[in-house]
Amino acid sequence: MNQSPYLNSFRGGPDEDGRFGIYGGRFVAETLMPLILELQEKWDEAKTDPEFQKELGHLGTHYIGRPSPLYFAERLTEHLGGAKIYFKREELNHTGSHKINNCIGQILLAKRMGKTRIIAETGAGQHGVASATVAARFGLPCVVYMGATDVERQAPNVFRMKLLGAEVKPVTAGSGTLKDAMNEALRDWVTNVDDTYYLIGTAAGPHPYPEMVRDFQAVIGREAREQILQAEGRLPDLVIAAVGGGSNAIGIFHPFLDDKGVKMVGVEAGGKGLDGDEHCASITAGSPGVLHGNRTYLLQDGDGQIKEGHSISAGLDYPGIGPEHSWLNDVGRAEYVPIMDHEALEAFQLLTRIEGIIPALEPSHALAEVIKRAPGMGKDEIILMNLSGRGDKDIFTVGKILGMEL
Amino acid sequence: MTARMDRRFSALAAEGRPALVTYFMGGDPDYASSLAIMKALPTAGADVIELGMPFSDPMADGPAIQVAGQRSLKGGQTLAKTIQMARDFRLEDADTPIVLMGYYNPIYIYGVDRFLEDALEAGIDGLIVVDLPPEMDDELCIPALRRGINFIRLATPTTDAKRLPTVLENTSGFVYYVSMNGITGSALPDPSVIGGAVRHIKDHTTLPVCVGFGVKTAEQARAIGASADGVVVGSAIVNQIASSLTADGAATEATVAGVEALVRSLASGVRGARVAAAE
């Protein structure tokens, strides 16, 4: 393993320019620079303000339902016949995924900054729903940009957002998926700089977003670390999470990064396989580049044009990844592997039947990796997996693939 | 620094008129038509050429330039071909400054050193890279300045007095004042507000200040040109190209001719700017 530049810690990043090694940074248009610098200033104040932390904690407990349980998946463990498998049950949060952790944090910050309008981008609609939810809770108007392709394949979430009072704007530019929605949100922000707060949903984008989103999501890992110590009296051997942009993964990884015995695996969407273009494995099959405000691993061609990804899971359908993951990969602290659509689909069905939990297709990717690794591990070893979202939103996608009429 | 840019702005200052800076997307809708457009610009009255480098994800651009980039990429344009276009243009025109404009990733992937070497050799005078603010100067700005290629920075209405010196510090060639917060091709604000902003920038720099984002007509060019050292027109030209294409996006006889007519009209606007201002 290479040395971390952060004095024997893997948790010290980013530096003051927002860099994790060569990754991260602030690659944005000049119009946005003053906003990003202001955001950073306000975030630096807020994170050390006890009042802010108190309000965040209060809403975490009473609105989100934290702490989320740590669940020993007894039947799955037995079925796989190897390591003990624990799930961090983020799917039990209000709105059904980990996304709300970040949204609550950022809307408190938006309020503190005196912003009166919220914009967000969404792929599968989970972050859009979480954004619309907190906007409703705080009485702020919310515009959600969503690729036109995603609007069609995620109709239930579109309806949820509308019920919550958000305006959903379908984006037809480019190929009409998450990256185009993010482009459009940036265009909105650049146009409405005075009153608008851009609530980014993943641990990517220009500094300070990757750090801020990570810090709001790190509650997952902090709780899980305490809970596993209480349950088992020791730390897990392996932590596994799915990675699209990477917010749920960095949230569970970060508090364990300096625990030497804990291995980390991030699972990317292998789609239909890494040979063609129909996947979203930015680290496994991409290369470093600059998009959406940060340098990170991207799916791109030889001319630096960004490619369209593919995944069965709209939430992983993004051709980039958060910059801290790129760095953790390069320094060897975390390993990133692909899982194919069909493997995720099998895992989805297995968990549903064996544990009575319908997982979202995103954590189904992490689960497929658990299924691969657990049998080869000892019965005294422990795997901790982030069950980042529930699968209700995916039943139509899965139904279609399995040939069932809903 | 390549001398072409300074020479051109000095000559225009002596003439007592602002520059007409014209943007078009390299390779839109195909290499040959695009090169023909480029060659037609100076004779139609363009003083500085901004040659757009297409990018799949142009975050600061409005629909017109987004679609132009898609047409160009579909037509097989690459960064290497955009540089080649400048090289081909230079065979016939040794004086008109060329500024490459676009986003960082294609340059980063091409390789910064190789890019600067090829750009310089092709006769390129300046760069505008939208997603490289002063905080990122080590990436491309400093290496470009060291090689003698101008790095032209955007100043915007959000660039306040405190930040302006940071923005101007490593800027050369000219300062590009973006007339409003927003994307390319939006509506143009009141010329008097723009005039104030231009004077504010000129209090801090001796560089020429060009104004763009939203200039569509000769009348607007005339109004803006009364206070600015240059008027940038982009989306209007790109729209003109789009309107000349066949249903499946191919160039027609009207493609180059349409741009020529538009630029000639805009050029009459900037040429009348100071006369109008003096009245």
Cβ within 8 Å, pair A289-B105: yes
How confident is residue A406, by pLDDT bands cut at 50, 70 and 90? Answer: confident
Domain check: are A44 and A160 in the same one?
Answer: yes
Among the candidates A173, A208, A243, a domain finishes at: A208
How confident is residue B279, by pLDDT bands cut at 50, 70 and 90? Answer: low
Domain check: are A103 and A77 in the same one?
Answer: no
Could you tell me what percent of chain B has a pLDDT over 70? 97
Which structural domains are found in chain B, ordered by start?
Answer: 2-272 (3.20.20.70)
Active-site entry in B6, B28, B47, B61: B61
Is residue A329 in a domain?
yes
Domain check: are A242 and A257 in the same one?
Answer: yes
Classified as helix, coil or strand, B49 is strand
pLDDT at residue B68 is higher than 50:
yes
Is residue A2 in a domain?
no
pLDDT at residue B272 is higher than 90:
no
pLDDT, one tens digit per residue, over A181-193 is 999 999 999 899 8
Among the candidates A178, A208, A238, a domain finishes at: A208
Q: What span, in angstroms and rounded, lies between the C-alpha atoms of B57 and B105?
A: 10
User: Cα dist. B62→A45, A249, B22, B48, B197 in Å?
Assistant: 35, 34, 17, 22, 23
Domain check: are A373 and A230 in the same one?
Answer: yes
Is residue A7 in a domain?
no
How many domains, chain A?
2
How confident is residue A135, by pLDDT bands cut at 50, 70 and 90? Answer: very high
pLDDT of residue A354: 98
Domain check: are A118 and A72 in the same one?
Answer: no
Q: What span, in angstroms and rounded, lies between the C-alpha atoms of B217 and B240?
A: 12
- Count CA atoms closer than 13 A to A154's CA, side-chain side: 33
Is residue A152 in a domain?
yes
**Residue A71 CB neighbour total at 10 angstroms:** 17
**Residue B16 CB neighbour total at 10 angstroms:** 10
Q: Assess whether B160 carries a catalytic annotation.
A: no
Question: What average pLDDT does the structure give for chain A?
Answer: 95
Chain B residues close to A300, C-beta within 8 Å: 105, 109
pLDDT at residue A1 is higher than 50:
no
Give the minimum alpha-carbon distance from A13 to chain B in angstroms, rounded to a whole number.
18
pLDDT of residue B74: 96
pLDDT at residue B3 is higher than 60:
yes
What's chain A's Rg over C-alpha atoms? 19
Could you tell me what percent of chain B has a pLDDT over 90? 85
Cβ within 8 Å, pair B105-A291: yes
How confident is residue B213, by pLDDT bands cut at 50, 70 and 90? Answer: confident
| Measured CA angle at A50 (ends A47, A56), to 5 deg | 70
Among the candidates A161, A183, A208, a domain finishes at: A208
Cβ within 8 Å, pair B158-A305: no
Give the minimum alpha-carbon distance from A235 to chain B in angstroms, rounded to a whole number.
40
Is residue A13 in a domain?
no
How much is the average pLDDT of A68-85? 98
Q: CA nearest A378: which of A26, A55, A85, A112?
A: A85
Q: Which two tokens stand for residue A340?
A: 């194919």
Domain check: are A268 and A172 in the same one?
Answer: no
Expressed as residue numbers, the domain containing A161 is 20-61+98-208
Is residue A5 in a domain?
no
pLDDT of residue B276: 56
A303 or A4, which is more confident: A303
A1 or B267, which is more confident: B267
Domain check: are A54 and A70 in the same one?
Answer: no
Domain check: are A35 and A150 in the same one?
Answer: yes
Residue B83, phi then psi, degrees to nearest 5? -65, -40
Is residue A259 in a domain?
yes
Contact with chain A for residue B36, Cβ under 8 A: no
pLDDT, one tens digit per residue, over A114-127 is 999 999 999 889 99
Q: Indicate the Cα dihedral angle B144, B145, B148, B153, nearest 10°.
A: 90
pLDDT, one tens digit per residue, over A333-379 is 999 999 999 999 999 999 999 999 999 999 999 999 999 999 999 99
pLDDT of residue A154: 85
Helix (H) or strand (E) holding B209: strand B209-212
pLDDT, one tens digit per residue, over A101-115 is 999 999 999 999 999
pLDDT of residue A330: 98
Domain check: are A330 and A390 in the same one?
Answer: yes
Question: What average pLDDT does the structure give for chain B?
Answer: 94
How much is the average pLDDT of A228-235? 98
CATH of the domain at A50: 3.40.50.1100
Q: CA nearest A322: which of A302, A292, A301?
A: A292
Give the minimum alpha-carbon distance from B63 to chain A in angstroms, rounded to a whole number.
8
Chain A residues close to B79, C-beta within 8 Å: 303-304
pLDDT at residue B274 is higher than 90:
no
Domain check: are A91 and A202 in the same one?
Answer: no
Q: pTM higher than 0.90, yes or no? A: yes
**Residue A354 CB neighbour total at 10 angstroms:** 15
Domain check: are A118 and A233 in the same one?
Answer: no
pLDDT at residue A174 is higher than 70:
yes
Domain check: are A293 and A376 in the same one?
Answer: yes
* Contacts of A380 by beta carbon, 8 Å cutoff, 6+ apart: A84
**In this predicted structure, which of A20-24, A316-320, B73-77, B99-103 has the lowest mean pLDDT?**
A316-320
- ipTM summary value: 0.95
Is residue A10 in a domain?
no
Contact with chain A for residue B83, Cβ under 8 A: no
Cβ within 8 Å, pair A34-B159: yes
DSSP label of B227: T
